[in-house]
Amino acid sequence: MFVKVNSAGICGIRGRIVSTEADVGDGLPGFIMVGYLASEVREAQDRVRTALKNSGFRLPARKVTVNLSPADLRKEGTAFDLPIALAVLGAYGMTDMREADGCLVVGELGLDGKVKPVEGVMSMVMAAREEGIRRCFLPQENVMEGLVVEHMEIVGVTSLAHLAAMLSDPRTICPARASSGNFLEQEKECYDVDYREVNGQQFLRRAAEVAAAGMHNLLFCGPAGTGKTMIARRLPTILPSLSREENIEISRIYSICGQLPAGQPLLNRRPFRSPHHTVTPQGLTGGGRPVRPGELSLASGGVLFLDELTLFRKSAVEILRQPLEEQRVIVSRVRGSYEFPADFMLCAAMNLCPCGYFPDRSRCRCTPAQVRQYMGRLSRPIMERFDICAEAAPIRYEELRQNAGDNESSAAIRVRVERAREIQAARFDGTGIRFNSRMGKGALERFCRLRPEAEHFLERVYRTRGMSARTCHKVLRVARTIADLEGSETLSKTHLAEAVGYRALEEKIWEA
């Protein structure tokens, strides 16, 4: 007897519907699985046979053939265990398959027949919806994640016997419901840190605010222990709240990577990723087998923070060039290419010498050659990818000991950032641009027109500092954000002067 059950796998960050076909016939008894299978899928036959036995199903010795279609798509992961077991049961005629027709079934099986959760359920359910499937049988632990996808009927399954019983008696099928006040309601963001805790460093705080308002890449430099990392880690607290669509897209990536918090199908806050400086280029872009997103994609919609930037491998830093320009990363392998989102705000922190005290020559004992070698780990093209470069000054004792309650809170800063983002949304409506930092040359000419005084000022700075065209455009983008924070329609000399001031550190680095 032939039976087909719909299942799904993950290809990049998208779900792909896979047909699990089973046939039981005459011939030499055995269990054969075909369909371009990874090792963990081939091992499913042993899990399935043992789970069937321990669930009370006694299968006669027959020739069982299981095919996972399409045959040219590599099947990876453990989500095919449950559909394989169900298809085999149906092929033996041991359960009614009418209610499973046109449904999606995914889940991993334990040897005792219990159904275990799997990764990437959100993408699988989305793929089912695109294919016109409206009912999904999912592991009980994945039900909340499946309910995130609208207009789908989600049924939780605890064991193989539970699923067979529901199919035999359709009256026992109870789809999960999203009740009011549960996880589907957008929860209020809650952070353990706040800018109110940061004393001093007004210049760095202002740079962080401008960067957050326009989604500009940000670099902090300066002596060790001056608060660079402290300020960077609080960036998500001043970024605008996630929209429903952003929340689902970000949570979908974390679901595929198995990094969603237990019992929380939506993150409800912007990501902040801070990989160690030993991370490989593949760890940043993604890859492996199966191919999964890397840190660039996990930071999409939020902040990617590279602490001690000069300690990262040069190949890992240089690999950022294209994703920073295109907001995506393409991983090419022999079996195909995978596109992952990489729309993040890059923030980095670094010292200017190995000992961390340069340019304070009263404490720094590094030779000029050591400083040049240390800074030579960063190429000028990478430095030009940073819209804002801010230098941290040593904190005075009076600033360090002042009352933290006198500092401006993250909530107050976020109000200004959100207002600037609203201005940008209205300005770029219908253009496909979302932030000032994403403006191309045409948008710069349209939205960054300068008065004669400001034009003359920018021309003098461009000639005297020997700016590249990329750097000049970044100055205009940052100036546009500064003007938005002030609610100004036009760019003035003051806005340009502040934007140019955020490039002074770049010159200082190369002079060093």
Considering 399, 434, 469, which residue would you say is the last residue of a domain? 434
Residues 214-226 have a mean pLDDT of 92
Average pLDDT, the chain: 91
How many percent of the chain have pLDDT more than 70?
96
Distance CA 271, CA 298 (A): 7
Whether 255 and 123 have beta carbons less than 8 Å apart is answered as yes
The backbone torsions φ and ψ at residue 132, rounded to the nearest 5 degrees and listed phi first, read 85, 5
Domain membership of residue 480 (yes or no) is no
- Same-domain pairing of 72 and 209: no
Q: Give the pLDDT score at 397.
A: 82
| 346 pLDDT higher than 90 | yes
Considering 402, 434, 466, which residue would you say is the last residue of a domain? 434
Distance CA 383, CA 510 (A): 10
Q: Which domain holds residue 319?
A: 195-434
| 184 pLDDT higher than 60 | no
Domain membership of residue 44 (yes or no) is yes
Q: Which class for 176: exposed (0-12), middle (13-18), buried (19 or more C-beta within 10 A)?
A: middle
| 510 pLDDT higher than 60 | no
- Same-domain pairing of 224 and 280: yes
Tell me: the pLDDT tens digits for 18-36? 999 999 998 888 999 999 9
Which of 441, 467, 155 is closest to 459 using CA atoms?
Answer: 467
Beta strands in 377-477 (DSSP E): 388-391
Q: Give the pLDDT score at 401.
A: 80
Considering 434, 458, 485, which residue would you say is the last residue of a domain? 434
- Same-domain pairing of 233 and 315: yes
- Is the pTM of the predicted complex or chain greater than 0.95? no
Task: Kindly indicate the confidence band of residue 371, based on its pLDDT and cuts at 50, 70 and 90.
Answer: confident
Domain membership of residue 388 (yes or no) is yes
How many percent of the chain have pLDDT more than 90?
71
Task: Kindly indicate the confidence band of residue 289, based on its pLDDT and cuts at 50, 70 and 90.
Answer: confident
Tell me: the pLDDT tens digits for 232-267? 999 999 999 999 999 999 999 999 999 998 878 898
| 134 pLDDT higher than 80 | yes
- Same-domain pairing of 61 and 134: yes
Q: Which residues of 477-512 are buried (b: 16+ CB within 10 A; e: fewer)?
A: bbbbbbbbbeeeeebbbebbebbbbbbebbeebeee
Q: Give the pLDDT score at 358.
A: 81
Task: Kindly indicate the confidence band of residue 399, based on its pLDDT and cuts at 50, 70 and 90.
Answer: confident
Tell me: the pLDDT tens digits for 135-180? 999 999 999 999 999 999 999 999 999 999 999 999 999 999 875 4
Residue 396 CA, distance from chain mean position: 38
Residues 428-446 have a mean pLDDT of 92
Q: Give the pLDDT score at 182.
A: 53
Domain membership of residue 89 (yes or no) is yes
Instruction: Tally the domains of the chain.
Output: 2
Residues 290-312 have a mean pLDDT of 94
Distance CA 436, CA 447 (A): 10
Domain membership of residue 446 (yes or no) is no
Distances (CA, A) of 416 to 36, 171, 234, 433: 54, 55, 16, 20
pLDDT greater at residue 357 or residue 151: 151
Q: Domain holding 348: CATH number?
A: 3.40.50.300
Whether 361 and 369 have beta carbons less than 8 Å apart is answered as no
Distance CA 436, CA 480 (A): 7
Domain membership of residue 213 (yes or no) is yes
DSSP assigned state of 159: B
Q: Which of 53-57, 334-338, 486-490 has the lowest mean pLDDT?
A: 334-338
| 354 pLDDT higher than 70 | yes
Domain membership of residue 107 (yes or no) is yes
Pairing status of strand 115-116 against strand 108-109: antiparallel
Distance CA 442, CA 72 (A): 43
Tell me: the pLDDT tens digits for 63-110? 999 999 999 899 999 999 999 999 999 999 999 999 999 999 999 999
Q: Is 401 helix (H, G, I), strand (E, B) or coil?
A: coil
Domain membership of residue 468 (yes or no) is no
| 404 pLDDT higher than 80 | no
- Same-domain pairing of 98 and 65: yes
Q: Domain holding 83: CATH number?
A: 3.30.230.10
Residues 331-346 have a mean pLDDT of 88
